[in-house]
């Protein structure tokens, strides 16, 4: 269970630093997952199940290359994150709507899967620290937890905005406020940084879900009725800019003085 120093050093090169820019990129990615997932399943009328299979195929392919990579590849990492959030969108919609479990039932089911994944990871590896994930087995736990959290976030966002009656703006305030609370706990409390990371990681997904719905749902439903394809394009551009900026900062930070 104890990592060698050289193994940890190898891992540092495989994932981005957890900074404010990381969280901004994650929020853009989760919002993109909502709009693009809805674009395929609803706008193109492919349905939730077929869309889930399409996105799952993309995710599994990217995950293979992510695990096989010997160093951190920013665009590959974030492409895998995006694929996990799109498959999470359509899978949550399939579970909640097509299977008739409902938003609350789907949220509870998916929360259980997130907790089981984290518990299993801890039992096998002795840690759920997102900064110690260089071995293939640990990466499987890492990405499985991420995918469950993305799916949970979609169901949770839909539940709060629809069934709980908060609406899209209420959901944005709720999850945005909870993320700010996580930041305050990070800087001003002794709460485990690992627990706060995973809590924030989960919360960014429902925030993205309600923001995505706010952008593309009809005005009569409280949305802005923007094109799902145009919204997805703008969000993807924002993600690319964030990833480019982070890699630029990384290169500058390792320049010889």
Structural domain includes residue 2: no
Q: What is the pTM of this model?
A: 0.84
User: What percent of the chain stands above pLDDT 70?
Assistant: 89
Q: Between 136-158 and 74-93, two packed helices, what is the crossing angle to 10 degrees?
A: 50
Torsional sign, CA 244, 250, 256, 257:
positive
Q: Is the pLDDT assigned to residue 25 strictly greater than 90?
A: yes
Q: Is the pLDDT assigned to residue 9 strictly greater than 50?
A: no
Helices of type H across 94-135: 102-125
Question: What total of structural domains would you count in the chain?
Answer: 1
Structural domain includes residue 211: yes
CA distance 63 to 114: 18
Q: What is the pLDDT of residue 61?
A: 94
| Cα R_g (the chain), whole angstroms | 18
Residue of 186, 211, 236, 197 lying closest to 22 (CA atoms): 197
Q: What is the pLDDT of residue 250?
A: 63
Give the SS3 label for residue 163: helix
**Alpha carbon separation from 17 to 131, 185, 235, 249 (Å, rounded):** 9, 19, 21, 11
Structural domain includes residue 7: no
Structural domain includes residue 122: yes
Q: What is the pLDDT of residue 2?
A: 45
Q: Is the pLDDT assigned to residue 1 strictly greater than 60?
A: no
Does an H or E element contain 175, and which?
A: helix 167-188
Structural domain includes residue 61: yes
Q: What is the mean pLDDT of residues 45-74?
A: 87
pLDDT band at 27 (very low <50, low <70, confident <90, very high): very high
Range(s) of the domain holding residue 194: 16-250
Structural domain includes residue 256: no
Q: What is the pLDDT of residue 252?
A: 56
CA distance 109 to 136: 27
Q: Is the pLDDT assigned to residue 6 strictly greater than 60?
A: no
Average pLDDT, the chain: 83
Structural domain includes residue 54: yes
Structural domain includes residue 92: yes
Q: What is the mean pLDDT of residues 134-150?
A: 87
């Amino acid at each position: 269970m104890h990592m060698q120093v050289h193994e940890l050093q190898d891992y540092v090169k495989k994932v981005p630093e957890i900074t404010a820019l990381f969280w901004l990129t994650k929020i853009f990615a989760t919002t993109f997952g909502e709009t693009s997932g809805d674009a395929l399943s609803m706008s193109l009328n492919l349905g939730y199940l077929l869309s889930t299979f399409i996105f799952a195929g993309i995710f599994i392919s990217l995950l293979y290359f992510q695990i096989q990579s010997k160093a951190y590849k920013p665009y590959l990492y974030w492409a895998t994150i995006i694929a996990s959030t799109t498959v999470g969108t359509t899978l949550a919609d399939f579970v909640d709507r097509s299977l008739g479990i409902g938003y609350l039932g789907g949220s509870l089911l998916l929360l259980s899967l997130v907790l089981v994944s984290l518990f299993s990871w801890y039992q096998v590896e002795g840690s759920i620290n997102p900064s110690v994930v260089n071995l293939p087995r640990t990466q499987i736990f890492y990405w499985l937890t991420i995918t469950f959290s993305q799916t949970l976030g979609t169901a949770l966002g839909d539940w709060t905005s629809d069934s709980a009656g908060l609406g899209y703006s209420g959901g944005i305030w709720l999850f945005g406020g909870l993320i700010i609370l996580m930041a305050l706990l990070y800087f001003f409390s002794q709460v485990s940084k690992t627990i706060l990371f995973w809590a924030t990681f989960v919360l960014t997904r429902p925030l993205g879900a309600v923001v995505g719905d706010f952008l593309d749902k009809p005005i009569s439903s409280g949305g802005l009725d923007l094109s799902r394809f145009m919204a997805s394009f703008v969000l993807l551009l924002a993600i690319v800019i964030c990833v480019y900026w982070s890699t630029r900062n990384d290169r500058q930070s390792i320049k010889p003085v």
